[in-house]
Structure 1
Amino acid sequence: MSGVALLLPGQGAQHPGMATALYRTEPVFTAVLDEFFAELGAEGDRLRADWLGPRPVVPLDDASRAQPLLFAIGYAMGRTVLARGLEVTALLGHSVGELAAAALAGVFDLPAAAGIMRARTAALAGVPPGGLLAVAAAPERLTRWLGGPDPVLGAVNAPGQTVLAGTGPALDAVEKSLLDNGIGCRRIGARQPFHSPAVADAAAEFEAGFATVRLRPPRIPVWSASTGEPVRPDQAVSPGFWARQLAGPVWFHRALDGLLGTRPGALVETGPGRSLSMLARRHPVVRRRRIPVLPLLPAATATAATAARWHEAKHRLTDFLSNGEKGKATS
């Protein structure tokens, strides 16, 4: 048994009502979020209101809402897992989830994280409209659609699951062409072209947001989806390393491959939905070794069950780590 690895989702995992049932019911989760919102000042109040309210003033898919909320919820859930005394031996985040992983590993503290997320949101404000397109195909099958500067390869999440990133008109055209050619695709909840050259200037601006942040080597190994490898100490203390992932592709499958080589006892998704859990369950190493994969929150279509699902998952995970009974944590 080698403890658990936490998977922290990024843009696209957000949905109305995500994790709201845990707020004011789970003490650690609530305290962490309240501290984060307080660090953001008036914007934190607006962010919390849009998260908890039935009709957000700013759509949750916008970077100004999805990015800080995904960071905060993933980080708060990770802190809750750690507070339960569970042994976390690795962290892997997707896009903004990588920043949550870094914070959980102690690369920067929560007040610094609030400043970092404020800088990230501000940098993205000037990015041209665009989005992300999930495609049910391997990158090599998409060569004819990736010959120009827009769209580009935004992420490789699995051998047959690719994400394209681009500005509005270009992505619209490629989406239509893919469907016309019988290749399944769907839009991801994003209003900006993350992980593409269109956000390169924003990434440079975002780097300046680290100017006053004290960065430290991670206390828990962090597998970077921007490199597919563990974050080295010199990378962890480099503002450019964290800022550049905003414009570069996400190699989630490569990073998951590496993480699984460390033989984790279980994979636990600490964030909204089950997107990373689904990717992990299909990995051949997970299937062959029967590694338990456990999402701690329900899918977007089952948000009313959030509190019940959290308590069920928490107890099953605790039982698994206490007794080593793998069959208890596989659903």
Structure 2
Amino acid sequence: MGKIALLFPGQGSQYVGMGKPLYDLSPCSREIFDQVDTIHPGTSTLCFEGPAEALNQTQNTQPCIFAVELAALAALKCVGVEAQGIAGFSLGEVTGLVAAGVLSMDDGLKFVKKRGRAMEEASQMTPASMVAVLKLDNATVETLCREFNQCYPVNYNCPGQLVVALLKDDQEAFLTRVKELGGRGIPLTLSGGFHSPFMTYATKLLEQKIYELTFAAGSIPLYSNAYAKPYPTAPVDIRDYILHQINHPVLWEQTIRNMIADGFTTFIECGPGKTLGGFIKKIDKSVTCCHVETVLTDYLEAKNAGKEWSFIC
């Protein structure tokens, strides 16, 4: 039997109402939300009720997604699902550090709050946006980026989808060029040019803050966005990986391919939305992907019917 991996999504997956099914279905999830609320008051209310304008502010988005993902992790543990590996997309990689035992929940939330504020500040320094480019190969998009000043390929999501970060003033011209090349460009509702040199200021703000965190050796492998391989174990190297991730591309497709090569055959998306599962289906249709809420629903249906339950995605 192949190995199970947990996937934690990143910013952009948020929506008003996220996490409420977990809160209702799982006492273990409810406990996590309550714990987060004691550290960051109002998190659960913002997740469940919004308003969207507040939820979509980076400094709020990141702690909220982090809370939902930890609640999902707790729910899975409580029904006996054990994973052998982890990957998180952008912000989700911080949740992955907690899930792997590298960071405590308190330190993880502390860093997420600082990360969100630092990225918000960096976004305000240079007006930038992000565009998902569909139907073009990576090499074509990379070449197109070189036609513009400060335009960077940043999220290598799956075959036929590469996200770029660029100056807002160049977005319309960029979208026109994408169309001319036979592709489709979709502007993303994000507040800055993440995972690019636009975020270098955020990295500098966090360089000292990261030494306030305590790191431990992880219990299971966490695959890095920026390197597409498992995190190292030495604290100094872990710090470098975390900081490097903020202003460098997310190599998601290569990460998943490396995990499959390492024997992972089942992926559970733990957090808002089902975007990562969609990417995986385009990367390799031979593996199985499901969502945490589906797992919980199946478990509760079996329990209520008095039947034995074992995790089968």
Please tell me whether the aligned partners of residues 87 and 222 of structure 2 are also in contact (alpha carbons under 8 angstroms): yes
Matched, 1:141 2:137: no
1:293 to 283, 289, 292: 289
Query: CA 1:214/1:237 → structure 2, altered by over 3 Å: closer, same or farther?
Result: farther
Q: Deviations over 1:93-134 (max 9, x none)?
A: 110111111110011101111210121122123223333211
Q: Deviations over 1:130-155 (max 9, x none)?
A: 33211112220124421144220111
1:41-52 mapped onto 2 (5 Å cutoff): 44-45=41-42, 47-52=43-48
Query: CA 1:54/1:125 → structure 2, altered by over 3 Å: closer, same or farther?
Result: closer
1:125-164 mapped onto 2 (5 Å cutoff): 125-127=120-122, 128-136=126-134, 137-147=136-146, 148-164=148-164
Name the structure 2 match of 1:301: none
CA shift, 1:315, in A, is 6.0
Q: Deviations over 1:291-322 (max 9, x none)?
A: 3211234xxxxxxxxxxx46335469999994
Query: CA 1:215/1:111 → structure 2, altered by over 3 Å: closer, same or farther?
Result: same
Q: Deviations over 1:63-86 (max 9, x none)?
A: 122222222212221122122221
| Distance in structure 2 (CA, Å) of the matches to 1:269 and 1:35 | 22
Name the structure 2 match of 1:175: 175
- Equivalent position SS for 1:164: strand
Matched, 1:99 2:89: no
Query: CA 1:236/1:37 → structure 2, altered by over 3 Å: closer, same or farther?
Result: farther
| Distance in structure 1 (CA, Å) of the matches to 2:301 and 2:250 | 31
| Distance in structure 1 (CA, Å) of the matches to 2:66 and 2:221 | 18
Name the structure 1 match of 2:271: 271
Q: Name the aligned partner's letter for residue 276 of structure 1.
A: L
- Equivalent position SS for 1:170: helix
Please tell me whether the aligned partners of residues 131 and 164 of structure 2 are also in contact (alpha carbons under 8 angstroms): yes
Matched, 1:4 2:4: yes
| Distance in structure 1 (CA, Å) of the matches to 2:230 and 2:308 | 26
Normalization by structure 2: what TM-score? 0.88
Matched, 1:312 2:308: no
Please tell me whether the aligned partners of residues 217 and 234 of structure 2 are also in contact (alpha carbons under 8 angstroms): yes
Please tell me whether the aligned partners of residues 46 and 64 of structure 2 are also in contact (alpha carbons under 8 angstroms): no
| Distance in structure 2 (CA, Å) of the matches to 1:273 and 1:96 | 14
Query: CA 1:274/1:72 → structure 2, altered by over 3 Å: closer, same or farther?
Result: same
Q: Name the aligned partner's letter for residue 239 of structure 1.
A: R
RMSD: 2.6
Q: Name the aligned partner's letter for residue 107 of structure 2.
A: A
CA shift, 1:180, in A, is 4.3
- Tell me whether 67-76 or 236-245 shows the greater mean CA deviation: 236-245
Any stretches of 5+ residues in structure 2 without a counterpart?
none
CA shift, 1:61, in A, is 2.8
What is the aligned residue count? 305
